[in-house]
Amino acid sequence: MLEKIIILDFGSQYTQLIARRVRELNVYCEIHPFNKIPELSTDVKGIILSGSPYSVRQEDAPQVDLGQFTNYPTLAVCYGAQYIAQHSGGEVQPSSTREYGRANLNFVATDNKLLKNIALDSQVWMSHGDTITKVPEHFELIASTDSVKVAAYQVKGSETYGIQFHPEVTHSIDGKQLLENFLVDICGCKQEWTPYAFVETTIAELKAQLGDDKVVLGLSGGVDSSVAAVLLHKAIGANLHCIFVDNGLLRKDEYAAVLEQYKHLGLNIKGVDAKERFLSQLAGVTDPELKRKAIGRVFIEVFDTEAHLVEDVKWLAQGTIYPDIIESVSVNGGPSATIKSHHNVGGLPDFMKLKVVEPLKTLFKDEVRRVGTSLGLEHFIIGRHPFPGPGLAIRILGEVTAEKVAILQEADAIYINNLKEAGLYDKVWQAGAIFLPVQSVGVMGDERTYENAIALRAVESVDGMTADWCHLPYPVLAKISNEIINKVKGINRVVYDISSKPPATIEWE
């Protein structure tokens, strides 16, 4: 039985980061909203309570019955720590000083299991407006900073701990050590959650779940669908039918390249050229959401037609990963705010009347890559940058035309090839060129030009949830700009996007 840690989410921006850190220590964990707690089975080894944008003093603050965790080791972070303290007879008040950013521990109970190998003066990261001003008598103070006396506590006679700093962020220097102390020494986790263990377990589960049924999967050439395909192929062989749709919005020569790449994997794959159909539906459409919906609608129609050419198909496989699952569930019980429609088309299963199988739904993106490596996938597949489902349609601002797609494909190819030649491609999380709906004056030779501009985007990230713009070397940017302007007819200006996420998104639309 797979041992696990349950993380209760009170709405913190750091909750997914806690889960990632736990997974990095080879311990499986799941995130659940505080108001949708699953039945705690015998395979649950411990509980982590997240932080929250709420104050425990608010009337509408998230509430949870702490009694159900009595028999489980519990680590409460920030809001969680304050919630336990307040509901046990302690006091939580607004901080008299700003408690945000770096701080250092000036007291550490080094004999406490949670703080083993954590040195005095260790740097931690604070992020809260309230603070615990008084703890109940049955609480033991185990760490302090200059401005936060109750930086950490243990409830005496139990394995319940509270900390008012964030061990999951890299600014907390010994955060990983603290989490390992909790997971291994206190919860007794065996650290058996590895890519190889996941592959072995998942293939066995897929065999049992699918039997001799036929499964259809839409391949995109990206990491998620590729890894999902190989896992399914190992489980059910030729009963997996892969479909790769050319929507006319792929990178230059990508359709042929992807089909060629998959040949050696032994996958049962069919390519479908639907370029004209997609582009005709995008004519005159300028709104980003309407573009996404048009592409989604046509994809469903094309995919459904091709899928039902497979006789007796029963299942639809999708490359859904864990952040997709988490983001669809709000801690307040309602739908999360829509920033943009995900292209992992939610209507596809209902439309096709097929059962759904999602072999990667418990994995983060970096875990998908590690699983792919353990399956023997080559680096050019594992290391591919994320690419939006709607393709270049959302990198062409405004109306999409075949001419604009061709221009952007050429500019994008020059950009990506230069990153690879400079040894920078693998250091960038995601890169792409954007066709801007503006024209500017230029001079080429002795002639005045009035042509379009291209923006270059390159970001560093771990999982796409947050991202920072890449500081690419100026000589490389200069070479890329020069090549695009000289070789791509219709472009006379290149700019570089230096916006981070948030407040900007990675894609422009």
Catalytic residues: 78, 166, 168
Distance CA 16, CA 27 (A): 14
In sequence order, the β-bridge partners of residue 105 are: 145
Q: Which two tokens stand for residue 276?
A: 């004209």
Beta bridge partners of 356: 316
What is d(CA 338, CA 319) in angstroms, rounded to the nearest whole number?
21
Q: What's the CA dihedral at 409, 299, 509, 417 to 10 degrees?
A: -30
* DSSP conformational letter for 38: P
361 CB neighbour count, 10 Å cutoff: 15
Identify whether the C-beta of residue 466 lies closer than 8 Å to the C-beta of residue 491.
Answer: no
Closest Cα partner for 495 from 436, 442, 450, 445? 436
- Strand, coil or helix: 124: strand
Q: Alpha helices, DSSP H only, in 113-253? A: 175-180, 195-210, 223-236
CA pair distance 461, 465, nearest whole angstrom:
8
Q: Count CA atoms closer than 13 A to 34's CA, side-chain side.
A: 23
Give the strand pairing for 269-273 and 355-357.
Answer: unpaired
Q: Do 58 and 31 touch, CB atoms closer than 8 A?
A: no
- The arrangement of strands across the sheet holding 355-357 comes to 269-273, 240-246, 214-219, 313-317, 355-357
Q: Which of 479, 437, 481, 475 is nearest to 456 (CA)?
A: 481
- Give how far Cα 239 sits from Cα of 8, 214, 357, 371, Å: 39, 5, 14, 22
Is residue 389 within 8 A of residue 220, CB to CB? The reply is: yes
Alpha-carbon distances, residue 333 vs 11, 35, 55 (angstroms): 11, 8, 18
446: Cβ contacts below 8 Å, ≥ 6 apart: none
Nearest C-alpha neighbor of 35 from the set 60, 14, 18, 13: 60
Q: Which residues contact 61 (CB under 8 A, 6 or more apart)?
A: 52, 54, 55, 83
Residues 6+ apart with CB under 8 A from 396: 404, 405, 408, 434, 435
Q: Tell me the two tokens of residue 105.
A: 């521990």
